Amino acid sequence: MSFIPITKSKRLVFPLFLLAFCLLYFISSISLGVPLEDGRLTPAFFPLTLGVISTAFAVIFLVRTIRKTHNEEGSEPPQRELAEKNIERLRPFFVIGATTIYIILFPAVGYFLSSLFYVFSIIVIFSDFKKIFTKSTLTTAVVILGYLLFEQVFRVRLPALWG
Amino acid sequence: MDFILLVISSFELLLNPVTLTYVVLGFLIGTIFAAIPGLTATLALALLLPLTYSLNVTTALMACASIYMAGMCGGSITATTINIPGAPSSMMTALEGYPMQQRGQGALALGHASLGSMLGGGLGAILLIILAPFIAKASLLVQTPGKFSLIAFALIVVVAAQRGKIVKAAIAACLGLMLATIGLDSMVPIARLTFGVPALTAGIDLMPVIIGTFAISELLIQAGSIAEHRRMSKEILKAQPIKRRDFIPPLSSVREIGLWCYLKSSVIGYLVGTLPGAGGSMGSFLAYVEAVRTSKNPESFGKGNPKGIAAAESANNAVCGGALVPMLTFGIPGDPITAIVLGVLVINGIQPGPQLLADQAGLVAPMLASLLFSAVILIPLTLFLLGPYFIKIVSIRKDVLYGSIALLAVVGSYVATYSVFQMYLAMVLGILAYFLRKNGFPVITLLLGFILGPNLEDFLRRSLALSNGNPLTFITSLDSLFFIMLTLFFVYFLAIRKPLENPATPIKSS
């Protein structure tokens, strides 16, 4: 019996997630009741059918990924390249983190403060911590422009710090 | 004829300075987004979608049309100057444009691209204006089982068009359909698959789906490829300057390409556009292959032949007119941009479908007028006025650009319903779309699944209710049988038959 190394098994995470998602959907649609009643389709029919089809496709995708992972010959990139790639790989997660904090702050502290934090974070994630003053100025300009666009041009009410 | 007159009279709206400003601004934004590698006109439209809430629907649709047209031709700028297509539809343009740029004829290549785009876009729009009313009339004849088969056809063809990743496309389409089933059932008042979240009872709005799949996922993708950005920025700085006087293609060169090439490529692009999921890249590829096949000097292609640029650009801009046909006549979007345009209609309470051209011709006509205006006037004008500055525009600071995009995307998902829940939803869907895209899944099928899902289910249930549960109704009904046969035909040609050989040499992708 041959095992898949940990580095390669990471590739199975997404197919497994998709399969779990499809199965969860399928199981939830079973709880909607019978698919047919007096010869008529019920609200459960379509989700149930969809659950079966999507689970089947997710299984095919998982099997294909396992086969591909087994057939590939592994060669580890050099250590330095690996470190650079790791930083590159982490950036999207920093963006997700900054966005989550922004959505939490947005109704609590209002548009201006939360947006200043958010835009500045994104600018730093997409560049570095150098020239902080220039970046802060640009952040302020973007946030003010955003305010003018939403609130003044398109008359959208944005949350404020007080009321 | 009435509809054509209505479109002609709609040009009057462009005399209104506010409307004209939105159309021109839309075109400029579309051009800039399409020109910057990594960004697309779809992203521009997704970001601007929330703002259409505050706009008059006619103006919003006119601006959408100009963004669409700009998105198809803007990609040729970086395709020619640095060999990195700003949009996938400009891949074939890079093959001929970049060798011309290396010979010091970059401006001329852009001039040819602009002329091709102008003629193709104009012809596509004219064909749409002439043919759409007839197709709309024919679409009224389609009955309920036929409507189900038609929507199933659209979804299956979109999946089949993703050759090489059909299973992934099918999974993405299923995910879109799944998202569409969340919330109240359309026939029986029960909430489905809400997982105990009360905010999901009303279902998932189109807005967070569009912003999540196209804006937030793009932001995450770009965050993971900063090294690539830096490399591109260096390439952009190395690009040779372009002079305005070199833009106009000489008449002898246009004659050499021939009117027939422009016409044929435009018709190819238009027909490809009507096919769900095909898009500008397939249109330009087929027209380019046809230009090579019929050329007396096929060996000159790939070395800077303006005919290749003319064919590719005429076709990809003609796609705009073609892709609007199924959207306007059947309510079936063929690509992400028409899906967002459909979103503009939906959020304004207008139901797209066979009745749209009959009931809301006054809304659709200005959009088509704007499409034609963008092709014939704005494409050459933008090139002539802004051409020398394109490279400077494209080399805009990416960190500030993405900071602005992030702000527009997240706040944009809030403005639709003033709900923070929508912001979370957009983020979750964005993360899902990010991982899908990272793993090679086409998110267009997810979006189309989400948009077409409710009608697919609705027509399935209605058809079976009308036939007392007899599934043979889909075969005994002639219109339905026609669409089933059409589905089999396209599946054979798109997924089973050996594909056309790509005459292109490998180029860098954006």
Neighbours of B198 (CB within 10 A): 9
Would you place residue B20 in the very low, low, confident or very high pLDDT band (cuts 50, 70, 90)?
A: very high
Q: Is the pLDDT of residue B506 over 60?
A: no
Please list every residue in chain B whose beta carbon sits closer than 8 Å to the beta carbon of residue A102: 410
Please list every residue in chain A whose beta carbon sits closer than 8 Å to the beta carbon of residue B171: 18, 54, 57-58, 61
Inter-chain touch A57–B216, beta carbons under 8 Å: no
The verdict on residue A124 lying in a domain is yes
Model pLDDT for residues B339-359, shown as the tens digit of each residue: 888 888 887 777 777 778 778
What pLDDT score does B197 carry?
87
Least confident of A28-32, B68-72, B381-385: B381-385
The verdict on residue A160 lying in a domain is no
Q: Is the dihedral of CA B51, B54, B55, B57 positive or negative?
A: positive
Cα separation, B374 vs B29, whole angstroms: 13
The verdict on residue A84 lying in a domain is yes
Q: Cα-Cα-Cα-Cα dihedral of A145, A150, B368, B328, to 10°?
A: 140
Q: Is the pLDDT of residue B203 over 70?
A: yes
Domain end: A18, A42, A71, which one?
A: A71
**Residue A142 lies in domain:** 79-153
Tokens of A10: 């990471």
The structural domain count of chain A equals: 2
Q: Is the pLDDT of residue B510 over 60?
A: no
What pLDDT score does A79 carry?
62
Cα separation, B65 vs B179, whole angstroms: 28
A99 and A58 share a domain?
no
Q: How high does pLDDT run on average in chain B?
A: 85
Cα separation, B427 vs B123, whole angstroms: 40
What pLDDT score does A75 carry?
58
Would you place residue A2 in the very low, low, confident or very high pLDDT band (cuts 50, 70, 90)?
A: low
A65 and A83 share a domain?
no
Would you place residue B509 in the very low, low, confident or very high pLDDT band (cuts 50, 70, 90)?
A: very low
What pLDDT score does A81 carry?
62
Q: Is the pLDDT of residue B445 over 80?
A: yes
Indicate the angle between helix axes B106-139 and B57-74, nearest 10 degrees: 140
A111 and A130 share a domain?
yes
Cα separation, B19 vs B25, whole angstroms: 10
The verdict on residue A93 lying in a domain is yes
CA distance B387 to chain A (A): 26
Using the Cβ of A80 and the Cβ atoms of chain B, whether some distance falls under 8 Å is answered with no
Inter-chain touch A126–B402, beta carbons under 8 Å: yes
Residue A24, C-beta contacts closer than 8 angstroms, at least 6 positions apart: none
A93 and A65 share a domain?
no
What pLDDT score does A92 carry?
93
Q: Is the pLDDT of residue A5 over 90?
A: no
What pLDDT score does A74 carry?
58
Q: Is the pLDDT of residue B507 over 60?
A: no
C-alpha gyration radius of chain B: 22
CA distance A76 to chain B (A): 20
Of B372, B327, B323, the C-alpha closest to B350 is B327
Please list every residue in chain A whose beta carbon sits closer than 8 Å to the beta carbon of residue B173: none
A58 and A89 share a domain?
no
Higher-scoring residue by pLDDT: A77, B459? B459
The predicted model gives B247-264 an average pLDDT of 88
Q: For the residues of B396-432, what is the DSSP string, one character each?
A: S-HHHHHHHHHHHHHHHHHHTTT-HHHHHHHHHHHHH
Please list every residue in chain A whose beta carbon sits closer than 8 Å to the beta carbon of residue B464: 40-41
A27 and A91 share a domain?
no
What pLDDT score does A11 carry?
83
Residue B377, C-beta contacts closer than 8 angstroms, at least 6 positions apart: none
Q: For the residues of B346-395, what is the DSSP string, one character each?
A: HHTT---STTHHHH-HHHHHHHHHHHHHIIIIIHHHHHHHHGGGHHHHHT
A55 and A13 share a domain?
yes
Which of B240-249, B330-339, B452-461 has the largest mean confidence? B452-461
Cα separation, A57 vs B167, whole angstroms: 6
Inter-chain touch A142–B407, beta carbons under 8 Å: yes
Best of B171, B439, B445 to substitute, by most chain A Cβ atoms within 10 angstroms, is B171
Domain end: A71, A91, A126, which one?
A: A71
Inter-chain touch B464–A154, beta carbons under 8 Å: no
A145 and A90 share a domain?
yes
Least confident of A143-152, B357-366, B500-509: B500-509
Higher-scoring residue by pLDDT: A91, B225? A91
Higher-scoring residue by pLDDT: A162, B488? B488
Cα separation, B10 vs B14, whole angstroms: 8
The predicted model gives B479-507 an average pLDDT of 77
Inter-chain touch A99–B427, beta carbons under 8 Å: yes
Using the Cβ of A123 and the Cβ atoms of chain B, whether some distance falls under 8 Å is answered with yes
Q: How many CB pairs below 8 Å do chains A and B form together? A: 160
Model pLDDT for residues B390-440, shown as the tens digit of each residue: 777 777 788 898 999 999 999 988 887 788 998 999 999 999 999 999 999
Cα separation, B80 vs B90, whole angstroms: 9
The verdict on residue A45 lying in a domain is yes
What pLDDT score does B469 carry?
83
Model pLDDT for residues B136-168, shown as the tens digit of each residue: 888 888 888 999 999 999 899 888 888 788 999
Among B399, B411, B465, the residue with its CB nearest the CB of A126 is B399
Q: Where are the beta strands (DSSP E) in A21-87?
A: 36-37, 40-41
Q: Is the pLDDT of residue B379 over 60?
A: yes
A37: nearest CA partner in chain B? B469
The predicted model gives B116-137 an average pLDDT of 90
The predicted model gives B196-223 an average pLDDT of 89
A38 and A85 share a domain?
no
Domain end: A71, A93, A117, which one?
A: A71
Indicate the angle between helix axes B306-330 and B144-160, nearest 10 degrees: 150
The verdict on residue A162 lying in a domain is no
Q: Is the pLDDT of residue B100 over 70?
A: yes
* B201: amino acid identity, one letter: T
- A74 and B223 Cβ atoms separated by less than 8 Å: no
A83 and A58 share a domain?
no
What pLDDT score does B75 carry?
80
Q: Is the pLDDT of residue B230 over 80?
A: no
Residue B313, C-beta contacts closer than 8 angstroms, at least 6 positions apart: B73, B76, B90, B93, B112, B113, B114, B115, B116, B117, B120, B284
Using the Cβ of B507 and the Cβ atoms of chain A, whether some distance falls under 8 Å is answered with no
Using the Cβ of A108 and the Cβ atoms of chain B, whether some distance falls under 8 Å is answered with no
Best of A28, A57, A137 to substitute, by most chain B Cβ atoms within 10 angstroms, is A57
What pLDDT score does A3 carry?
54
Of B457, B412, B347, the C-alpha closest to A111 is B412
Inter-chain touch B225–A158, beta carbons under 8 Å: no
Model pLDDT for residues A97-118, shown as the tens digit of each residue: 999 999 999 999 999 999 999 9
Using the Cβ of A97 and the Cβ atoms of chain B, whether some distance falls under 8 Å is answered with no
Using the Cβ of B420 and the Cβ atoms of chain A, whether some distance falls under 8 Å is answered with yes
Question: What pTM was computed for the model?
Answer: 0.85
Q: Is the pLDDT of residue A80 over 80?
A: no
Interface ipTM: 0.90
The verdict on residue A32 lying in a domain is yes
The SS3 of residue A41 is strand
What pLDDT score does A18 carry?
95
What pLDDT score does B239 carry?
65
The verdict on residue A1 lying in a domain is no
Cα separation, B24 vs A111, whole angstroms: 29
Interface of A with B in 11-70 (CB under 8 A): 14, 17-18, 21-22, 25, 28-29, 32, 36, 39-43, 45-47, 50, 53-54, 57-58, 60-61, 64
Interface of B with A in 215-274 (CB under 8 A): 216, 219-227
A64 and A124 share a domain?
no
Residue B140, C-beta contacts closer than 8 angstroms, at least 6 positions apart: B354, B355, B358
3-state secondary structure B159-214: HHCCCCCHHHHHHHHHHHHHHHHCEECCCCCCEECCCCCHHHCCCCCHHHHHHHHH
Cα separation, B301 vs B312, whole angstroms: 12
Q: How far apart are the first and last CA of chain B?
A: 43
Please list every residue in chain A whose beta carbon sits closer than 8 Å to the beta carbon of residue B224: 88-89, 91-92
What pLDDT score does B493 carry?
83
Write down how long chain A is: 163
What pLDDT score does B294 carry?
86
Among A43, A118, A123, the residue with its CB nearest the CB of B188 is A43
A136 and A108 share a domain?
yes
